[in-house]
Amino acid sequence: MDEPLGNINLSSDAKPDPELGSKAPKWFIGKYAKIAFPAIRNDKPIKEWMWVNVDCVVDGKCVGILDNDPIFTDKVKCDDEITFSPSEVAEICEID
């Protein structure tokens, strides 16, 4: 993908989707998963939700590449490898 997916969500209402959390990790391969990253905004802790392009499964966890440029955290950056479990996923996106 040439451009990072948009739709970074800072809403405190966002949360992992239990239905997606019940999926096997290999189900996410080839999809984009929206997961939360700890961040700080106005000196307050928040969750910055961003897209990860899932490439594979390692030790029962999804592994992929962050596809957004973070706004409120410097702990990760676009193109970083990210490992997470399905229980952390709020939303998925499939791009042909």
SS (H, E, C) 17-79: CHHHHCCCHHHHCCCEEEEEEEEEECCEEEEEEEEEEEEEEECCEEEEEECCCCCCCCCCCCC
Domains of the chain by start residue, with CATH: 18-93 (2.30.30)
Q: What is the pLDDT along the chain (96 residues), one digit of tens a residue?
A: 444 555 556 555 679 999 999 999 999 999 999 999 999 999 999 999 999 999 999 999 999 999 999 999 999 999 999 999 999 999 999 987
What is this structure's pTM? 0.87
pLDDT at 64: 98
